[in-house]
Chain A
Amino acid sequence: KNQVEQSPQSLIILEGKNCTLQCNYTVSPFSNLRWYKQDTGRGPVSLTIMTFSENTKSNGRYTATLDADTKQSSLHITASQLSDSASYICVVSLSGGGADGLTFGKGTHLIIQP
């Protein structure tokens, strides 16, 4: 069964600190992996998209890594800001999958405290 597991479920850090969110998946065959940021009560917004040949991709203070061999990804946030408080969702795309072919993780709820 295709699954995406994210950890931790929730995380609280102080403003200015760094943090790393984890994503493990069992989706096969794999096409790409995405990280989305979802502010409370809003729709998700794409941060990064990585194919199996990409090991890392950055978007400002967000850096995603991918190890397609171990089927693990991480999202590193540098110098956190209050606006980073949100849920971060890992989404894995199934190669050749019908419909959207996407499997969503449950997300990590991140809270940045001043």
Chain B
Amino acid sequence: SQTIHQWPATLVQPVGSPLSLECTVEGTSNPNLYWYRQAAGRGLQLLFYSVGIGQISSEVPQNLSASRPQDRQFILSSKKLLLSDSGFYLCAWRRGAGVSYEQYFGPGTRLTVT
């Protein structure tokens, strides 16, 4: 069976500090991977997605970046965090194609920038 992991689960970082969040998927190969952010009172916002190693597409301009160094590893980074980067970060992967594909979310990382 497939499993998606994220770490850390929670993180408190000062403004201006760097960030690295990691996501790994087990039990599948060549998945489409996604990073979302969920701010309080707002819907999920797609940040990045990747269809393969080294292939990253950004949906929202910001001070975040993403990388996919391995097939089942997706990393979200920042060189200098802003207060507005606080939120709940979710990694997801997609199984299947066509209309009724399944999208599975990881457990999330709660980031608080102080």
Contacts and interface: CB of A to CB of B under 8 A. Distances in A.
Interface in B83-111: 88, 90, 92, 94, 99-100, 102-108, 110
B43 A46 contact: no
Contacts of A114: none
Contacts of A107: 43
B105 A49 contact: no
B41 interface: yes
A31 B99 CA distance: 7
Most chain A beta carbons < 10 A, residue from B41, B59, B105: B105
Q: Sort chain B's interface into a size bin.
A: 20 to 34
A103 B59 CA distance: 13
Given A43-B90, A89-B43, A106-B41, A100 B103 contact: yes
Nearest to A53: B99
A49 B94 contact: no
Question: DSSP majority for the A interface?
Answer: strand
**How big is chain A's contact interface, by range?**
20 to 34
Given A89-B43, A100-B94, A107-B43, A43 B103 contact: no
B57 interface: yes
Main SS class of interface, B: strand
B49 interface: yes
A41 interface: yes
A81 interface: no
Contacts of A105: 43
B34 interface: yes
21 contacts: A4-B43, A41-B88, A41-B110, A42-B107, A42-B108, A43-B92, A43-B106, A43-B108, A44-B44, A46-B104, A49-B102, A99-B34, A99-B49, A99-B57, A100-B94, A102-B103, A104-B43, A104-B45, A105-B43, A106-B41, A106-B43
